[in-house]
Each structure stands twice: as C-alpha cells, then as structure tokens.
Amino acid sequence: MKIAFIGLGNMGGPMALNLQKAGHDVVGVDPAGGPDGIEMATTIGDACAAADVAITMLPNGAILRSVASEIIPALPNGAVLLDCSTVDVDSAREVAADAMNAGLGILDAPVSGGITGAANGTLTFMVGGDTAAFETAQPLFDVMGQKAVLCGGSGAGQAAKICNNMILGVTMLATCEAFALADKLGLDRQAMFDVVSTSSGYSWTMNAYCPAPGVGPVSPADNGYAPGFAAELMLKDLGLSQDAAASCDADTPMGALAENMYEKFVGQHDGLGQDFSAVLPWLSERGRSTG
C-alpha cells in the first residue's frame, strides 16, 4: 500500500520502518524529521495525494485536529485515515465525522505496548470505526502489532485505551502503596510478591511489571526506573480519562485521585522522565503527614 505517515517520533518512527520493511511504500511528514531510511515529504498534501492510507501518530488531540484538516482534503476518495495517537474521545469523533463527510474511511486506533512494542511490531491496537476500514487496515495492523481489536464505532478505540490506562494507573498506585506499607511492617518484598502474585491481590502491575527491584520478572524497576512507560504519559492518559468522565458525568473518584497523585509525582517529585512504577520509591519515603 501507499502510506503517508505523519508524526515519526518515538512511536511513529519505528512503526513506519516496520511498514517499509514489510514492503509498503511509506512517505513521512514530521517537522522534526524522520528515522534514517524513510523518504520524507515537505507537506502533508504531497504525502497524501496518492496514498491508500494516511497514518497519524501525534502528541495530542489539538495537533491531530489541525493535521487532519490538512490530510482530509488531500487524500483520494475512499482512502483511510488511521489515527494511532492517544487523544481525547471528542477529537477522535470530530475528526471521524469530517473524514466520513469527505468520503474517507476513518479509524481511531490507539496502541498499547510502548516503544519496545513499536520497534518489535508487537503493539496492541484498540480500534474504533467501521468494519470496511478495519479490514483495509488489517494488513498494516498485522505488521505493526500482534493484535487489533475492533471495539465499536468512532471513539471506541480511545475509550478502551483510557479505561484500560485508568485501571493501570490506579492499580500501579495500589501496588506501590502496598509495598510501601509492607516495608514499614517489616515484610520482606520477595515474600510479599510470592503471596500477592498468587493470591487475590494479583494484577498485571504486580505479576508482570513489579515496581520493586529484584522481585518478579525483569521490569523498569530493575533498570533504575528508566521507562518503560513514562510517568508523564500515564499522567496524560489519566487526564484524558478524567476529561472524558466529566464530559459524560461518570463518577471516577479513584481515577481522579490517581491523576492527582501522578500530577504531584511528575510536577513536584522528580517523576518526569521516570517510569510510572517509580512511585514506589517516592511513596516509600513518605509518611502519613508528608505533604
């Protein structure tokens, strides 16, 4: 397929390279440049004029809306706009409406799996849109990922992503909080892991991504808390979940508290640039009256 790839940063760069390696014809657009080996176009219009699919991997909804307003008039009728960025549900739905009005296929398809998943082609795609566009994009999902789930209509992919990551943020905080309590109660971390990982407190954050170094499978904790999944990206996703909750009057007190704690961790406590599991050393240092 002829692919215009817009946004070739930490995620988009390796995704574009994998598509090219698989034999697709990829042209990139990014003011910051792209990875070696990808042909770059100067304008979005040039990249999209003959494209079968335009893929976007951008930082946020405002940038997506602005970029989409250039992509949509440039794509040939019947082409598909595949947005893989993590953005707010409203932006995803607004872009979808504009694309459909212009006779294009449109999918919101945020990913999980991070930079390693992007490089290894093992991302999971959570997809919103119609079946025809999903089928067009399936060969591209097969190259860039290990799984793509069609979750429903436009915005459903973003909804799935932010609900998943709200659980992830809350669960990570609960896991770290429990380790910090166990430490203060004199419970050995390995014993804590051995019990919880096989008891009713088990979770992905305990069993697969344990925030305590030297315990459980290898995780960012064993690498000085280098991300992994950066705390500021978790904060972004928690913010999206709370904006979405406000827009539909959903009561999400645990998600709101998690956003508040990651805000403190990133803004005031060296969390910026650390993995989101690095809240464990932060919480361990705190007492009940620490501000």
29/192 with CB nearer ligand NAD: 29
Residue from 26, 106, 111, 162 touching ligand NAD (CB under 6 A): that is: 111
Considering only residues 256 to 275 of the shown chain, the ones binding ligand NAD according to CB under 6 A are: none
Residue 26 structure tokens = 């990829």
Question: CB-based burial of residue 177 (10 Å sphere; 0-12 exposed, 13-18 middle, 19+ buried)?
Answer: middle
> Among residues 44 and 196, whose Cβ is nearest to ligand NAD?
44
**Which of 21, 147, 161, 236 is flagged as catalytic?**
161
Query: Which C-beta is closer to ligand NAD: that of 166 or that of 182?
Result: 166
Min separation Cβ 203 and ligand NAD, Å: 20
- The residue (of 11 and 166) whose beta carbon lies closer to ligand NAD is 11
Query: What is the Rg, in whole angstroms, of the alpha carbon atoms belonging to the chain?
Result: 20
The Cα 162–Cα 168 span in angstroms is 10
Q: Does 161 participate in catalysis according to the annotation?
A: yes
Residue from 21, 37, 39, 59 binding ligand NAD (CB under 6 A):
59
Closest CA to 57 of 83, 36, 31, 76: 83
Binding flag, residue 3, ligand NAD (CB under 6 A)? no
Stated as kind and residue range, the H or E segment containing 42 is none
Kindly identify the residues of this chain, within the stretch 18-57, that bind ligand NAD according to CB under 6 A.
29-32, 57
Return d(Cα 177, Cα 160) in angstroms, integer.
26
Binding region for ligand NAD (CB under 6 A) out of 3-11, 74-82, 143-151, 180-188: 3-11
- Strand partners for 56: 6, 83
The Cα–Cα gap between 106 and 92 comes to 10
197-256 residues near ligand NAD, rule: CB under 6 A: 229, 233, 236
Site string for ligand NAD, 61-90 (x = CB under 6 A): --x---x-----------------xx----
Q: Would you state the structure tokens that stand for residue 186, as one six-digit string? A: 């004199």
Shortest Cβ 223–ligand NAD spacing (Å): 15
Contact between 278 and 225 (Cβ < 8 Å): yes
Contact status, residue 15 vs residue 119, Cβ threshold 8 Å = no
**For residues 8 and 31, is the Cβ–Cβ distance under 8 A?**
no
| Residues designated as active site | 161
Residues at the interface with ligand NAD (CB under 6 A): 6-12, 29-32, 57-59, 63, 67, 85-86, 111, 114-115, 229, 233, 236
